[in-house]
């Protein structure tokens, strides 16, 4: 019977589908005040949140520049006590970076963001270094804009956090909604269940 239940569950489970992208946070257009250094053991993070829906990140654009050939790693973290917590996923880095501060886009993660939750995007430079721009303007657009940011000088071992003068970034995400099964799927599931039940009964009868 456990096999039957599993088969039926797999048949009826709704698949996740993605709707059009929405802005979770965006302050790229704000006036830049200065930049934070990212390199070696110095990591910088920026927080954002979700509303009452589930999301999948489609892209994250950071206002970056680099004075030298560099590589970047942008990780998605959970939030723990107001700072980056557990590593959840890694976004895909672009192949090149600008020498003058410009939006640099990392492509999305397959990780599903939970409703009403806070997350962190943490930037590190495995090679070279970056300057991540920040603004003195504590306002921004998007359902999940937060002015929180964090810095670590020991590769994420400890964090300094602040609630003002946020890092400049934009996060676009696709809302995740359950797919409604086609009417034909219900019929297929019913036939499948009937076949499994019949097989189970025949197996049981042959063992008596």
Per-residue pLDDT tens digits for 175-189: 998 665 555 544 444
Per-residue pLDDT tens digits for 65-98: 999 999 999 999 999 999 999 999 999 999 999 9
In a domain, 78, yes or no: yes
In a domain, 147, yes or no: yes
Share of the chain above pLDDT 70, in %: 76
Residues 23, 29, 32, 38, CA torsion sign: positive
- Which tops the pLDDT comparison, 193 or 160? 160
- CATH number for 163: 2.60.120
E-assigned strand segments in the chain: 16-26, 32-39, 43-49, 54-65, 71-80, 83-90, 102-107, 112-113, 118-127, 129-135, 145-152, 160-162, 169-178
Q: Which helix (H) or strand (E) holds 8?
A: helix 2-12
In a domain, 61, yes or no: yes
Rounded distance between C-alpha atoms, residue 190 and residue 78, angstroms: 41
Strands 54-65 and 169-178: antiparallel
Number of domains present in the structure of the chain? 1
Q: Which residues face 150 on adjacent strands?
A: 45, 161
In a domain, 152, yes or no: yes
Side-chain-side CA neighbours of 136 within 13 Å: the count stands at 2
Helix (H, G, I), strand (E, B) or coil at 198: helix
């Amino acid at each position: 019977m456990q096999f039957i239940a599993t088969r039926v569950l797999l048949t009826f489970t709704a698949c996740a589908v993605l709707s059009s992208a929405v802005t979770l946070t965006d302050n790229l257009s704000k006036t830049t005040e200065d930049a934070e250094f990212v390199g070696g053991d110095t990591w910088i993070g920026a927080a954002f949140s979700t509303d009452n829906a589930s999301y999948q990140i489609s892209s994250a654009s950071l206002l970056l520049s680099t004075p030298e050939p560099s590589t970047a790693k942008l990780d998605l973290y959970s939030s723990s006590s107001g700072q980056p917590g557990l590593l959840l996923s890694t976004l895909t880095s672009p192949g090149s970076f600008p020498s003058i501060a410009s939006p640099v886009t990392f492509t999305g993660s397959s990780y599903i963001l939970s409703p009403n939750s806070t997350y962190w995007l943490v930037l590190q430079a495995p090679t070279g270094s970056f300057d991540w721009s920040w603004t003195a303007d504590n306002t921004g657009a998007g359902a999940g804009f937060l002015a929180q940011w964090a810095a670590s000088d020991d590769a994420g071992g400890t964090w300094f956090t602040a609630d003002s003068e946020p890092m400049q970034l934009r996060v676009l995400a696709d809302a995740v909604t359950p797919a409604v099964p086609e009417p034909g799927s219900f019929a297929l599931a019913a036939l499948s269940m009937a076949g499994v039940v019949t097989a189970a009964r025949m197996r049981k009868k042959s063992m008596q």
